[in-house]
Amino acid sequence: MDKNKIAVVDYHDYSQGDAQTRERFIQEFGDSFANMGFAIVRNHGVTPELRKKLFEVSKAFFNLPEDVKRSYEDLALAGQRGYISKNRESAKGKDVPDLKEFYHIGQTVTDGDPIKEEYPDNIWPKEVTEFREVGLEVYNTFEQTGRNLLRATALYLGLDEDYFDNKVHNGNSILRLLHYYPVQDVSQIPEGAVRAAAHGDINLITLLMGGSAAGLQAQALDGNWIEVTPKEDEIVINIGDMLERLTNGKLRSTQHQVICPDEELWTKPRFSTPFFMHPRADMDLTCLDSCVSAENPKKFPDATAGEFLTERLIELGLKKA
């Protein structure tokens, strides 16, 4: 097996397949996570019609005047809800901000779970009438798909299939509508700036509905950068730092970036929609005993998901220490 290859799998093989088909999915999906930290999934639940609506409302919002967009930005929320304006987020360890703006939709608790008190309310722009309806439908679809993909991941790790279920129920997941804005005069781009500098995600897994232009790359085990090019009806799944910590590095949180392969692409917008699947803040990220051995000693200090998230938001410049 090519360890630098990102597997393409069919979600229906897990959700609807017989025992043998499910086992093949779990092995191929898990191996791709262990080697590349990425997989590509088709039949993920978001219909072509919903995908089209999502990008329509995303474009409609980001085309609004700057002052209107900024009216939906609340700096006190550390980027957890609403609009996050241009050049506010930098990758960990980077001094130059990414050239992007985005909008966050968070968890909506509807079952009386007291965790609701931990989450700020979502912020909905009134200028884009379908924003709320479409955003929540995509959020709920990705949350369900993500829960099932974590079940497959649990089986790959030798855990009970429902290991993650109570940890992600009403978890602190975020749907990000992302706009890499066009730059007409490339001479004005700050030195070292890219659309998204090399980084690992914070969360358990990320489900990414592909960008409207090329540019996503993942770093292979040999250090080379590989183009990640899903088809229009496929989504990209990648491991986040929380799951890497939990598995003591058995599953890779791979560095990835968004670049402009040629200068002309700077002048064109790029839209994408990642769903960052987070657990509840009290999830224990202590390395699993089954992933620690003499050959693979414990690499990470103990922490809860909430503690780790706070640490990373400070590093990203979205929250003050």
Write out pLDDT tens, residues 76-112. 998 899 999 987 766 566 666 778 899 999 999 999 9
Assigned token pair, 49: 């019609």
DSSP 202: S
**Percentage of residues of the chain with pLDDT beyond 90:** 67
CB atoms within 10 A of CB 56: 13
- Does the domain at 7-315 match CATH 2.60.120.330? Answer given as yes
Q: Indicate the pTM of the whole model.
A: 0.91
Extended strands (E) in the chain: 7-10, 38-42, 82-84, 101-106, 174-180, 196-199, 205-209, 216-219, 225-227, 234-239, 256-258, 270-277
Q: What 3-state DSSP class applies to 47?
A: coil
Per-residue pLDDT, 260: 64
Nearest to 290 by CA among 242, 252, 255, 251: 251
pLDDT at 265: 67
**In angstroms, rounded to a whole number, what is the distance separating the alpha carbons of residues 261 and 214?**
7
Determine the residue type at 126.
K
Predicted pLDDT of residue 181: 83
Return the CA Rg of the chain: 19
197-247 pLDDT tens trace: 677 899 999 999 876 556 788 898 888 898 888 888 899 999 999 999 999
Q: Give me the residues of the chain with pLDDT under 50, please.
A: none
